[in-house]
């Protein structure tokens, strides 16, 4: 692979088999960004390779097998990016990490095992932490870099039967806020993108508690499913989120939080409504 001397950014992004990750990896490459696109499933690599070749950006986009639950995978891929792009760092390219991979387990506390909570955190929280830990030393030495974390509306507010998913995103929010203030002195910026519903196969891949149809909380599961269907009517496209991520990458001093769509509305309502009113509202779910 030849080296293009006009790289401004080198991006490692996770969760690129579909949705936001797929759209973002292609959009960035189309804008001249060097992209390493992580995919958990090896069989999906050919699909992304084919799409990149069709768009004439195969030289900029490299799909890599990356399971964020695996520390060995994380170390291998981060080392690959750092070593392969050594000339890019010398010429001033900025390293960017986009933690996008994630999934949701839907279940009431009494319906979920401890293993389910641990699995949810392993992917949604500890995976991003491990990736950041692996790449930050290089960013610090270069004294430049951006870390973009894909959070969620459920990282800012929660409703019944999403405690596993929401708590993993709340944890990501707290980690990212503290990390931002640790790293600012090295010109490394941490940002959170907080989308509401997005048109992707994320909802199709929701993992429900096995007994959700017979659970004592089955009515709350049904209301959650109804809400998910209604939310699809106001869902944003992955391309919209991809364009926001590209905008953040280009900003000299990006903000900490970027609430998107319904997340922004929900945050504003939560800020002005009394807690007792929100408690009563929660009974609708």
**What is the DSSP track for 198-222?**
BSSTTTTT-EE-TTTTTSTTHHHHH
Q: Using one digit for the tens of pLDDT, what is the confidence trace for 18-60?
A: 999 999 999 999 999 999 999 998 888 999 999 999 999 999 9
Q: How many domains does the chain have?
A: 1
d(CA 193, CA 7): 24
Residue 56, classed as helix, strand or coil, is coil
**pLDDT score recorded for residue 250:** 98
Q: Is beta strand 105-106 parallel, antiparallel or unpaired with respect to 188-194?
A: unpaired
Q: What are phi and psi of 100, to 5 degrees?
A: -110, -25
| Structural domain includes residue 187 | yes
Q: Using one digit for the tens of pLDDT, what is the confidence trace for 143-171?
A: 999 999 999 999 998 899 999 999 999 99
| Structural domain includes residue 121 | yes
Residues 6+ apart with CB under 8 A from 266: 153, 156, 157, 196
Catalytic annotation, pick one of 9, 165, 189, 217: 165
Residue with tokens 């095992």: 113
CB atoms within 10 A of CB 25: 32
**pLDDT score recorded for residue 1:** 44
Q: Whole-prediction pTM value?
A: 0.91
**pLDDT score recorded for residue 131:** 98
Residue 96 contacts residue 12 (beta carbons within 8 Å): yes
Give the distance from CA 89 to its chain's centroid: 25
Looking from the CA of 91 toward its CB, the CA atoms found within 13 Å total: 12
**pLDDT score recorded for residue 7:** 85
Of 106, 120, 109, the C-alpha closest to 225 is: 106
Detail the DSSP E strand segments found in the chain: 9-13, 34-39, 61-65, 94-99, 105-106, 145-150, 188-194, 207-208, 257-259
CB atoms within 10 A of CB 200: 19
| Structural domain includes residue 1 | no
| Structural domain includes residue 203 | yes
Q: Give every strand in the sheet of 94-99, ordered side by side.
A: 61-65, 34-39, 9-13, 94-99, 145-150, 188-194, 257-259
**Would you call 165 a catalytic residue per the annotation?**
yes
d(CA 117, CA 166): 11
Q: At 144, list the tokens.
A: 């430049």
Q: What are phi and psi of 110, to 5 degrees?
A: -70, -15
pLDDT in 10s for each residue of the chain, 285 residues:
444 556 899 999 999 999 999 999 999 999 999 999 999 988 889 999 999 999 999 999 999 999 999 999 999 999 999 999 999 999 999 999 999 999 999 999 999 999 999 999 999 999 999 999 999 999 999 999 999 999 999 999 889 999 999 999 999 999 999 999 999 999 999 999 999 888 876 666 789 999 888 999 999 999 888 888 877 777 889 999 999 999 999 999 999 999 997 655 565 555 555 666 555 555 555
Residues of the domain holding 93: 9-282
**pLDDT score recorded for residue 42:** 86
| Structural domain includes residue 4 | no
Q: What are phi and psi of 143, to 5 degrees?
A: 60, 45
CATH of the domain at 89: 3.40.50.720
**pLDDT score recorded for residue 164:** 98
């Amino acid at each position: 692979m030849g080296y293009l001397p006009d790289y401004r950014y080198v991006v490692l992004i996770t969760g690129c088999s579909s949705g936001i990750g797929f759209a973002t990896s292609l959009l960035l490459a189309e804008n001249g960004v060097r992209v390493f696109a992580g995919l958990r499933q090896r069989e999906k690599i050919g699909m992304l390779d084919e799409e990149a070749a069709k768009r004439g950006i195969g030289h900029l986009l490299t799909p890599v097998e990356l399971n964020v639950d695996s520390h060995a995978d994380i170390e291998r891929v981060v080392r690959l990016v750092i070593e392969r792009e050594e000339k890019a760092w010398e010429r001033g390219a900025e390293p960017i990490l986009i933690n996008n991979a994630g999934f949701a387990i839907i279940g009431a506390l009494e319906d979920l095992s401890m293993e389910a909570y641990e699995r949810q955190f392993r992917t949604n929280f500890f995976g991003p932490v491990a990736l950041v830990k692996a790449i930050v030393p290089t960013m610090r030495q270069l004294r430049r870099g951006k870390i973009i974390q894909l959070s969620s509306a459920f990282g800012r507010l929660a409703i019944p039967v999403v405690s596993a998913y929401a708590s993993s995103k709340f944890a990501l929010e707290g980690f990212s806020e503290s990390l931002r203030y640790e790293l600012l002195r090295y010109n490394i910026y941490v940002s959170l993108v907080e989308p509401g519903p997005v048109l992707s196969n994320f909802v199709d891949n929701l993992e429900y508690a096995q007994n959700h149809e017979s659970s004592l909380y089955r009515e709350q599961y049904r209301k959650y499913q109804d809400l998910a269907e209604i939310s699809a009517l106001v869902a944003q496209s992955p391309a919209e989120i991809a364009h926001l991520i590209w905008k953040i990458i280009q900003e000299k001093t990006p903000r900490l939080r970027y609430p998107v769509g319904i997340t922004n509305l929900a945050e504003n309502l939560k800020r002005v409504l009394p807690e007792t009113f929100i408690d009563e509202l929660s009974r609708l779910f």
